[in-house]
Amino acid sequence: MANWLRPGVVVLIVLSAGAALRAHHSTAAYENTTITLKNAVVKRLAWVNPHSVVSFDVKDARGRVATWSAESGSPSALSRMGWNRNSLKAGDVITIELFPAKNGARVARLAKVVMADGRELLDSVYKASPFDTIQKR
């Protein structure tokens, strides 16, 4: 009886891991429409796996500084989109398009960055959107 138990447990673990990986890459936490924040000031680009993160400050409607974090693709996915670890530096002023969190937290899924000189840095979401359509509010 123990001879069949071990392979059965291995199969169960492998099948469970696949479901967990799919859940990890869900976009359910984010709105399916984008917002655009202008005059954002980059704090940091964390060029890390599994997802790079852009941290930035932007003034809210009352003029108070709000810090946001926007998750993007992996460094390898971003590299294919023309990014590198030095694409964004602390102090860069950018316009950023993102899918905000549904719960109102200042976290988001990155869609696009527009640099002060007009250059655009697209996230992999623009190439193969996890959303049915990219809509703007």
> For the chain, which residues make up each domain, given as ranges?
33-136
pTM: 0.74
Taking the C-alpha atoms of residue 19 and residue 17, their distance in angstroms, rounded to an integer, is 5
CATH no. of 33-136: 2.40.50
- Whole-angstrom distance between the N-terminal and C-terminal Cα of the chain? 60
CB 49 within 8 A of CB 75: yes
pLDDT in tens, the chain (137 residues): 556 566 655 555 555 555 444 445 677 899 999 999 999 999 999 999 999 999 999 998 899 999 999 999 999 999 999 999 999 999 999 999 999 999 999 999 999 999 999 999 999 776 544 444 445 55
Helix (H), strand (E) at residue 111: strand 107-115
Taking the C-alpha atoms of residue 57 and residue 25, their distance in angstroms, rounded to an integer, is 26
The DSSP-derived string for 83-95 is --TTSS-TT-EEE
